[in-house]
Structure 1
């Protein structure tokens, strides 16, 4: 039985790899195929009458690990300079307004229809549906142009952070008043201090450890810091994204005296190897999570007629408000409106709702259907051509220059220039080794 299990796991993960590398051509998000594959395996075990232990406790563990690695990997891909500030600002306010509007409106609807839960508890049930899943959005944005790809990474990461912060703020405060707000702001200041100290220590270790095993201890410390700050209900994802941005842009900091003492050329080489390892781990954990989630899906949950109308209405509201906000911010709505998937973080927050605060209207069937519908909409949106070029050549061309056939993007010169402009060389005059120049698998 052990050998058969090993064979099954290897075959499933190899299928996941095939789905990942074929997504650019098929335009089908690998997440959809992973969910279907996991569900198909479940049906096979039922058909063969195989006894499988309860795997549900593994789902939050894999989900949390995947969230950390995906946000870290995405943050390390981003280049930081002053020209990116407009892009960062727009992505932050897009994520914030989307979070406030969707969770507020859906929370009010749950409160009015349920009639039992308080408005605060109704908000706790609504927040998971307002969060864009970076676990799905970031990998699915690889076929977009460089500007749009960076925007999706920033927006989905901010959405994850804001979603977790808002959810914890609502769930863990019995009364929402000025004191609870001050407590949350204090948490932000603490996590910024933790980020500065932890990043300095981890960068120092990365440059000084000479043992042949050096990256795994650093990854374990990152996860440990995240877990400890989560216990104290601090915005732990903020540490992950800031750490990723700093270490991923170590070239920009090499002119500083402290970085020069750490042999920046050798440090950049180590960061490159570290990023490659993070990318490999991210693929493995993300694929395992969605395979397991698909395996745990019940057919009755997918086809629940009592919740499908609600799921369709929620999904329609999500994409309608997203389109309107993109137009308000003068962002390329045609390329970005459909990238608003719900997924990993939605599942994790739903599983974290305390029993005494849960609403009868929000159940697993509704959550699963919204996740599936949003993924299908994203798949459908990616199938329509956005310009004259198509396929992999389009993705490669867009990575270097904005598409001239995109009127919305052309109308937003600030956004396009901020996100697609060439990276400025280091003021130190030294060559900047760009470890990002690697193929996307």
Structure 2
């Protein structure tokens, strides 16, 4: 029997998506990350494929494409939820500082550990290998923090999104330095960043103004196709493409802030809001499917025997200790004493895997065991699970209060989705003064 026949593939993907939906429900009840369950499912499928002789398939090209699309969808999904208001300036700056300092410090310590314990590792290559291990996974964090109070939830959305973007920028800055002919230095790096921001703003305004005039009902996947195209072209031009996605999400989520003065006259607010709300739904749905397939395929490609090495265990444990020691210091400095469960929520995931496979061949070190990658991903996920369960036991009323808040949000979203006159939405929603009073 042909394992990868058309109907078998359809059946397999359908079952995986159904199981992923169930895993999300299990994750909310137990605080075990759904991503961890998906990886375990992938490992089970790996052994089933081996039993039927289907273990010779090269899944990496599929894994790479899913990872890129998943990253774009996850960052866009996070950006659509970020409100740029004056009262959120300090939380955003704190999250940015924690993400940036945490990334650099964790990368430096991990690089020192790798250089000392991995044969053939130079400091330059150690930084390159350490960077993916130091990036927070928004793919795991964002779905996992929905039960936390709003302030803590927003902190994790900001922090993980910043960590993704800054980590990718650091990684490609380091890979650029491998080739002296193409290395533009620190000045060129920041010039590239400014150019990316300018292009991102121009593209964001243009997309919103053009798409609000399109009357066709089939335009959201056209919009996503445009964003994917911009991301890919940006990569070809060596721009920080993820910033394009982030800024577009911020602009469409905060249209009143970005469209002021004469620009407001060009904006059809009701049509633009309609695009925003529909995009929010389809982005979340697409991110869910892509994230599901990515982590299952990653599970299929895992070599479990690599975890049995004592050297892998030692290096991984030292990296884990450094991650949480640095995180503890930063959270105490910026957030005070109330750092639970934030301290434990530092998983590695999609970006870590994606960047690890993107390490150039000229920088590859034979002595580096991929088991370190797997150990750190599983270890940080388990620590997050333990931290969330501990916090839930210590704050039993918190979950109920958050559930009530989420129920109120769901009612508002239902009203928005079922109201044809979008001008009624602004009248129905509480003003910022009312939010402050609450």
- Shared fold (TM-score, shorter chain, > 0.5): yes
Unmatched tracts of structure 1, length 5 or more? 402-427, 436-441
TM-score, L = length of structure 2:
0.87
Q: Which residue of 1 aligns with 2:380?
A: 374
SS at match of 1:385: helix
Unmatched tracts of structure 2, length 5 or more? 409-422, 431-438
Q: Which residue of 2 aligns with 1:350?
A: 356
Partners of 1:21 and 1:257 in 2: CA distance: 47
Q: Which residue of 1 aligns with 2:368?
A: 362
Is the Cα–Cα contact under 8 Å of residues 36 and 294 in structure 1 kept in the other structure?
yes
The CA deviation at 1:363 is 2.8
| 2:101 is equivalent to residue 97 of structure 1 | yes
- Structure 1 residues 266 and 432, CA, compared in 2 at 3 Å: closer, same or farther? farther
From 60, 84, 89, the equivalent of 2:88 is: 84
- Structure 1 residues 434 and 279, CA, compared in 2 at 3 Å: closer, same or farther? farther
Aligned residues: 409
Superposed counterparts of 1:16-415, under 5 Å: 16-50=20-54, 53-114=57-118, 116-174=120-178, 180-253=185-258, 256-331=261-336, 332-386=338-392, 387-389=394-396, 392-397=399-404
The CA deviation at 1:176 is 12
- Structure 1 residues 227 and 49, CA, compared in 2 at 3 Å: closer, same or farther? same
CA RMSD, Structure 1 to Structure 2 (Å): 2.6
Partners of 1:356 and 1:306 in 2: CA distance: 24
Partners of 1:79 and 1:196 in 2: CA distance: 17
The CA deviation at 1:399 is 6.2
Q: Output one character per residue of 1:331-363: Cα deviation in whole Å (capped at 9) or x when no partner.
A: 531120111011111111111112221334433
Is the Cα–Cα contact under 8 Å of residues 75 and 244 in structure 1 kept in the other structure?
yes
- Structure 1 residues 303 and 121, CA, compared in 2 at 3 Å: closer, same or farther? same
Is the Cα–Cα contact under 8 Å of residues 251 and 432 in structure 1 kept in the other structure?
no
SS at match of 1:164: helix
SS at match of 1:368: helix
From 400, 404, 426, the equivalent of 1:431 is: 426
Q: Which residue of 1 aligns with 2:433?
A: none
Is the Cα–Cα contact under 8 Å of residues 17 and 289 in structure 2 kept in the other structure?
yes
TM-score, L = length of structure 1:
0.86
Is the Cα–Cα contact under 8 Å of residues 207 and 266 in structure 1 kept in the other structure?
yes
Q: Which moved more, 1:303-312 or 1:201-210?
A: 303-312
Q: Which moved more, 1:98-107 or 1:172-181?
A: 172-181
- Structure 1 residues 125 and 434, CA, compared in 2 at 3 Å: closer, same or farther? farther
Partners of 2:49 and 2:251 in 1: CA distance: 46
Partners of 2:6 and 2:330 in 1: CA distance: 52
Q: Output one character per residue of 1:46-82: Cα deviation in whole Å (capped at 9) or x when no partner.
A: 2333465221211111011111100100110121111
Is the Cα–Cα contact under 8 Å of residues 25 and 392 in structure 1 kept in the other structure?
no
Is the Cα–Cα contact under 8 Å of residues 117 and 315 in structure 2 kept in the other structure?
no
